[in-house]
Amino acid sequence: MQNDIHYLDGVYAAAVTPLNADYTPDLEAIPGLLNFLAGRGCHGALILGTTGEGPSFSPEQRMAIYRAALLVRQAYPDFRLLAGTGTPSLAETIALTKRAFDLGYDGVVVLPPFYFRKASEDGLFEWFSQVLHQAVPHSGALLGYHIPPVTGVALPLDLLDRLKQAFPDRFAGIKDSSGDLAHARQLGERFGKDLLVFNGNDRLFGSALSLHASGCITAMANLLSPELRQVWEAFKVDGDSTLAQARLTLGREALDRFPPMPPMIKALLANLHGFPSWMVCPPLQPAAIEAIQEVTTTFDSLVPA
């Protein structure tokens, strides 16, 4: 049972980014999507993470998207917003991070500089230190984004420890999208609740919570946030989340058969919840019709009668 709750703990959707036919952000559609997520049990959303195709947009587009997302708070004033601000450019990452906090975001999720994949731990420490020092206020929270299958750059436990020691009030933790249960166990054993860890793989959510994870930030929360919330609530009161976790595992297995996530998540939002058939930004391509039909059938079977 989870007793000590941090203000950022909870279930977050790695929100998709609605796009127009010309690949520009559909800013008017963003608040409606976030209202939908809030109404289905999400504590908050990550804007412009991997599922949100963050690296595909210019700094100007990102800032417009950040501003559009704030409108969710008109209907859900307590809805938490995290901004994906990491880029390979230190100066650009600092500017985006500072702007997100200026707008009132609750935190940022920052990819490591993923172009120089052989950078040393000392180099990564200095890079993150500059972002933290120059862009994160003392009341802010920066989460490192650990997704080595995509970035090719891991965030070692020793690096996390150094950053937490150097910036105890600003370096909050990580989004762990490694999909590796052994790594989740190492994080829990080393840091306990001293470091916020947000699980990024739905099939591991219940296990991650038992290893001191603070919550989740996942692509599938766009679709199965009620199940994620059930697992979260059951963990807090020592309840039974077996059925909800089983649905999450089956859904994630279906999605993992047809990577990458953004095209399929957008297709399922259209098929299952009536959203427009939003584009994805090149180099991503729309999911194949046969794959969409197969995954839609799976997700239909996961919804309780």
Q: pLDDT tens digit string along 195-209?
A: 999 999 999 999 999
Per-residue pLDDT averaged across 246-271, rounded? Answer: 97
pLDDT in tens, 69-88: 999 999 999 999 999 999 99
> What three-state secondary structure class fits 131?
helix
> Backbone phi, then psi, for 106, in 5-degree steps?
-80, -20
- DSSP bridge pairs for 173: 143, 196
Burial of 221 (0-12, 13-18, 19+ CB in 10 A): buried
Residue 117 tokens read as 């994949």
Other CB atoms within a 10 A radius of the CB of residue 303 amount to 12
Q: List the domains of the chain with CATH numbers.
A: 10-237 (3.20.20.70)
Active-site residues, by number, are: 50, 115, 145, 175
Q: Please give the model's pTM, rounded to 2 decimal places.
A: 0.95
Which among 31, 95, 107, 24 is positioned nearest to 59, based on CA atoms? Answer: 95
Q: Does the pLDDT value for residue 305 go beyond 70? A: no
Which among 80, 61, 73 is positioned nearest to 18, based on CA atoms? Answer: 61
Task: Report the C-alpha gap between 71 and 31 in whole angstroms.
Answer: 6
